[in-house]
Structure 1
Amino acid sequence: MKLNDTIVALATPAGAGAISVIRVSGPEAIKIIAPLFVAKSKKPLEDQASHTIHLGNIMNGERTLDEVLVSVFRAPRSYTGEETVEISCHGSPYIQQEIIQLLIRKGCRSAEAGEFTLRAFLNGKMDLSQAEAVADLINSENAASHQMAMQQMRGGFSNEIQKLREELLNFASLIELELDFAEEDVEFANRDQFRELVSKIQTVLKRLIDSFATGNVLKNGIPVAIVGEPNVGKSTLLNALLNEERAIVSDIAGTTRDTIEDEMSIGGVGFRFIDTAGIRDTKDVVESIGIKKTFEKISQAQVVVYLVDSSQIAVNTERLRQVRIEIEKIKNKFPLKPLLIISNKIDRLAEEEITKLKKELDLISAMNNRAQYLLLSAKSNTGVEELKEKLLEFVNTGALRNSDTIVTNSRHYAALLRALEEMNKVEEGLNHELSGDLLAIDIRQALYHFGEITGQITNDDLLGNIFANFCIGK
């Protein structure tokens, strides 16, 4: 990939719209566009200052392609750090392609995926973790994922890593200096202070590593498995939560033969609801496959919602016993997963039956590690909002509220694990009073893994893998 030429791409989604933006970046950006643009003011584009917008026409010879707004950004005060021009034209796909093809004929090259952001990284406008946050920001679908991406793009994570790296680098320099004076047996790096630094770095790394579990689910949506016996209202509940007829509702047991998934945002946090096939003994081959998938989905879920039919368990002792067995089976198989028991169809019960039902559910809850329960009627929408509040309680959003750094990128997570492993080796070396040359080996490795995160240490394959996932034009 050439990175010193001038590139062009559509920066807005393909297809028809009111306005489209065509982005051009590179050393010849202004020079290429200037002869094609006739400003209403008659002022030459090449003479215009940075961060100015100009109204005029894009011309192909004597032919007017479109009336446009041209934004000028002079190096290094642009997104990429290069000469950059953005053409805001009318959103016709025909006009988009006419302008882009004209620019290519005049010397531009079609940009590859993520090439504008890659150039921004290479030109020092952002580090690698901030560049990756750009892609996360584009793909954010709820307030939580948006907030995490914004924090990382502003440098919250990279600043924390960079500070640790600089402190460790200072001590590494002193230890390297000791090696130059090995014959004189001098100690430039105070070992007690170094122990304190190592302990501090280990603490920060562990916190960042632990945050990945929260960050990953907040970024991708909290998976919630809706399970239970057939015909208890799982599909009706899913429709009530999503406020649309997403799942087929029927009085015939086993209607849901496969899992149905959909997403929604609750309190700014994304949830991915999985309506599964009911759990029961069956000879139906297709339904049996669905039940097997149910347990697979429970293993993948962050929260399990177990539905029961209030009108059945309130009057049927045998049915209540079966429910207890099924709940115990789920809780024993997945003891650490939050379990919320929902007693649906309470609109069919009298007041005294509801009182009796609550006592039974209190007992089931106590027997299953205090699993929570909720009375609800999905059909009449009673208790649905309370359910949403309950689901939010299961999610650790404290870090978001406190603006703590949350790791969401699996590449960063892997690098942090490797860095912590090396810092543990450094600590062990200090405890065994190893010589400075042996300590320096592990310190260099830790510094290497810190550098991997921010992009101070990189290679073409890594950059290719990261920026290949970007959209064209960003």
Structure 2
Amino acid sequence: MINNDNIIALATPSGAGAIAVIRISGKDAITIAGSHFRSIRGKDLKKQKSHTIHLGHIVEDNKVLDEVLLSVFKGPNSYTGEDVIEISCHGSPYIQQQIIQLFLRNGCRSAHAGEFTLRAFLHGKMDLSQAEAVADLIASDNEASHQIAMQQMRGGFSNEIEKLREELLNFASLIELELDFAEEDVEFADRSQFKILLTKIQEVLKRLIDSFAVGNVIKNGIPIAIVGEPNVGKSTLLNALLNEERAIVSDIAGTTRDTIEDEINIGGVGFRFIDTAGIRATEDVVESIGIQKTFEKIAQAQVVVLLVDAWEMASDPGKLKSSTIELEKIKNRYPQKPLLVIANKVDRLQPEEIEILKGQISDLYLLSAKTGYGVEELKSRLLEFVNTGALRNSETIVTNTRHYNSLLKALEEIEKVQFGMDEDTPSDLLAIDIREALYHLGEITGQVTNDELLGNIFANFCIGK
């Protein structure tokens, strides 16, 4: 599948900027670039060392297109494993296109999405999970997702999987060898040691599978639904969290009739806050649709923030009772979902009234979205819902759905092998399940792959990477 023709693409975002980088890779990359590069010192590009930078001009028929810095990377010591040229030109879209079109007419073709990284994988510069981490690194928009992507790109996840696969492969080879001597009834694989290995593999796989719950929300942002009766300050709270006037705020109950979403970074983790329509009985058709969407968003949220009006609850016992009923309703409907109860508008209460409220509802958080009181404490509390311990300890965290599915399948096969060992299953049947486990582990790193899988993965990359 390795294609050594010469590809070119813009490696920086399209549009005007100070500098743009154009990347060429392929067996003739240096020759093609050298035929249109004029060094200010008269250097022959083909004679230059790898990992060097040269100042000169890109020319076509003695017409200077731009003054550039040209970087030379000779294979196999390059990103793709091939000869690579990177041209740093001025960021004018016109200049970018002139240079790209010049090389398209002279031995290059436009690179497909992710083709540079695909070539890096095919030339053994990185495995498949590391290649996927490149895309995650580009897409990372907070400290946590960046840290996970960097760890995986450096091979942390790959090394852990490869070590398991190698140990399993060694035992598999011994069991396969037993099949060649089936008539002599000999055992080359130490069954007691194999059981210890299977237990170890199961523990590692289960830990990696469990980490996906954390990794997935870190990668995609943690959805937080802000719910409550109309006019309790949900939109004001959203604006306070985002530090901008994102949601419309008014004294009219039912102003928010649809869900409003926005994301902020708290402690290096992305949180996606969802301001929902107020929950109440209404005959307004549009508002009723908004309330129905509120319950849908609660079901999708990782954490629910129930906002109540502290001032109304303190002055009206009926409001306190209705808020308590609403709290129980959400708890009963979503028993497994973390729920924070926040009393808003505490700036309007006296200290003794606050104490009474705290005695009525357990674990009540006090807040004034209008003044900002308690907002930072709320952010800290939300961060506690994310298990960042593994992140701080640099443990491997799975964020990729494809990896997660392969881990589940590998664990299923390992459990079959474990069951077979306990039941004294013949070696030939054990070998089948071991091969399947090896296959699914190999899928993660790309030791087992096919063109369709690679096409699906690299199609999601950006052009130029």
Q: TM-score, normalised by structure 1?
A: 0.97
Structure 1 residue aligned with 2:247: 247
- Alignment of 1:356 with 2:356, yes or no, is yes
- Alignment of 1:259 with 2:259, yes or no, is yes
**Aligned-partner SS, 2:315:** coil
Over the residues paired in the alignment, what is the CA RMSD in angstroms?
0.8
Structure 2 residue aligned with 1:189: 189
Structure 2 residue aligned with 1:447: 438
Alpha-carbon shift at residue 329 of structure 1 (Å): 0.6
Q: Distance in 2 between matches of 1:224 and 1:264?
A: 11
Structure 1 residue aligned with 2:296: 296
Structure 1 residue aligned with 2:275: 275
Q: Distance in 2 between matches of 1:145 and 1:100?
A: 33
- Alignment of 1:433 with 2:424, yes or no, is yes
Contact persistence 2:2–2:119 (CA under 8 A) = no
Structure 1 residue aligned with 2:459: 468
Alpha-carbon shift at residue 7 of structure 1 (Å): 0.2
Structure 2 residue aligned with 1:382: 373
Q: Distance in 2 between matches of 1:62 and 1:51?
A: 27
Per-residue displacement from partner, 1:214-267 (whole Å, max 9, x unpaired)? 100011111100000000000000000000000000110000000000001001
Where do residues 38-117 of structure 1 align in structure 2 (5 Å cutoff)? 38-117=38-117
**Aligned-partner SS, 2:272:** strand
Structure 2 residue aligned with 1:163: 163
Q: Which amino acid aligns with 1:238?
A: L
Where do residues 79-228 of structure 1 align in structure 2 (5 Å cutoff)? 79-228=79-228
Q: Distance in 2 between matches of 1:175 and 1:382?
A: 66
Q: Distance in 1 between matches of 2:150 and 2:222?
A: 20
Alpha-carbon shift at residue 373 of structure 1 (Å): 2.4
- Alignment of 1:342 with 2:342, yes or no, is yes
Structure 2 residue aligned with 1:402: 393
**Aligned-partner SS, 2:372:** coil
Structure 2 residue aligned with 1:393: 384
Per-residue displacement from partner, 1:140-159 (whole Å, max 9, x unpaired)? 00000000000110011110
**Deviates further, 347-356 or 287-296:** 347-356
**Aligned-partner SS, 2:35:** helix
Q: Which amino acid aligns with 1:450?
A: L
**Aligned-partner SS, 2:246:** coil
**Deviates further, 127-136 or 293-302:** 293-302
Structure 2 residue aligned with 1:369: none
- Alignment of 1:330 with 2:330, yes or no, is yes
Q: Which amino acid aligns with 1:453?
A: I
Q: Distance in 2 between matches of 1:83 and 1:62?
A: 26
**Aligned-partner SS, 1:314:** helix
Alpha-carbon shift at residue 360 of structure 1 (Å): 1.5
**Aligned-partner SS, 1:283:** coil
Structure 1 residue aligned with 2:409: 418
Q: Distance in 2 between matches of 1:269 and 1:232?
A: 27
Q: Distance in 2 between matches of 1:91 and 1:2?
A: 32
Q: Which amino acid aligns with 1:156?
A: G
Alpha-carbon shift at residue 173 of structure 1 (Å): 0.3
Contact persistence 2:80–2:116 (CA under 8 A) = yes
**Aligned-partner SS, 1:159:** helix
Count residues with an aligned counterpart: 465
Structure 1 residue aligned with 2:317: 317
Q: Distance in 1 between matches of 2:358 and 2:421?
A: 59
Structure 2 residue aligned with 1:3: 3
Structure 2 residue aligned with 1:12: 12
**Aligned-partner SS, 1:30:** helix
Q: Which amino acid aligns with 2:420?
A: G
Q: Distance in 2 between matches of 1:85 and 1:451?
A: 33
Per-residue displacement from partner, 1:47-99 (whole Å, max 9, x unpaired)? 10000000000001111000000000000010000000000000000000000
Contact persistence 2:137–2:150 (CA under 8 A) = yes
Q: Which amino acid aligns with 1:385?
A: E
Q: Distance in 2 between matches of 1:456 and 1:335?
A: 43
Q: Which amino acid aligns with 1:254?
A: G
Structure 2 residue aligned with 1:368: none
**Aligned-partner SS, 2:113:** coil
Q: Which amino acid aligns with 1:409?
A: N
Q: Which amino acid aligns with 2:218?
A: L
Per-residue displacement from partner, 1:192-225 (whole Å, max 9, x unpaired)? 1111111110111111001101100011111100
Q: Which amino acid aligns with 2:458?
A: F
Alpha-carbon shift at residue 358 of structure 1 (Å): 1.6
**Deviates further, 2-11 or 14-23:** 2-11
Percent identical among aligned pairs is 74
Q: Which amino acid aligns with 2:198?
A: V
Q: Which amino acid aligns with 1:429?
A: G
Q: Which amino acid aligns with 1:110?
A: S
**Aligned-partner SS, 1:255:** coil
**Aligned-partner SS, 2:8:** strand
Alpha-carbon shift at residue 2 of structure 1 (Å): 7.1
Alpha-carbon shift at residue 35 of structure 1 (Å): 1.3
Q: Which amino acid aligns with 2:7?
A: I
Per-residue displacement from partner, 1:114-147 (whole Å, max 9, x unpaired)? 0000000000000000000000000000000000
Q: Distance in 1 between matches of 2:2 and 2:75?
A: 18
Q: Which amino acid aligns with 2:264?
A: M
**Aligned-partner SS, 1:418:** helix
Alpha-carbon shift at residue 394 of structure 1 (Å): 1.2
Q: Which amino acid aligns with 2:102?
A: L
**Deviates further, 124-133 or 330-339:** 330-339
Structure 1 residue aligned with 2:28: 28
Q: Distance in 1 between matches of 2:374 and 2:142?
A: 24
Gapped runs of 5+ residues in structure 2?
none
**Aligned-partner SS, 1:272:** strand
